[in-house]
């Protein structure tokens, strides 16, 4: 299996942290020297290991933002 190359080119924020020290983050990540994409996933404290996540291009991120802005979030 080929080695996975990645570079976090921009960090936007941490959504949550787990008891084991991993953090769920929104970043701009270049995977295997490709154009960076918006990325949501958990990272270990050293940003060497990561969980499965989701990547989105700019248009998808805009649609996600618009959907979130229209959602009515309840407390329960």
pLDDT computed for residue 75 by the predictor: 81
Phi, psi (5° rounding) for residue 50?
-145, 160
Backbone CA torsion sign across 31, 35, 41, 42: positive
- Output helix, strand, coil percentages for the chain, rounded to the nearest 5: 15, 40, 40
In Å, how far from its chain's centre is CA 4? Answer: 16
pLDDT tens sequence across 14-26: 999 999 999 999 9
Residues 6+ apart with CB under 8 A from 71: none
73 pLDDT band, cuts 50/70/90, is: confident
CATH number given to 6-70? 2.30.31.70
pLDDT computed for residue 1 by the predictor: 67
């Amino acid at each position: 299996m080929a080695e996975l190359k990645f570079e976090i080119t921009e960090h936007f924020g941490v959504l949550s942290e787990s008891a084991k020290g991993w953090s769920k983050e929104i970043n701009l990540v270049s995977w295997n020297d490709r154009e960076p994409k918006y990325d949501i996933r958990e990272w270990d404290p050293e940003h060497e290991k990561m969980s499965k996540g989701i990547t989105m291009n700019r248009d998808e991120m805009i649609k996600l933002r618009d959907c979130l802005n229209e959602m009515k979030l309840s407390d329960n």
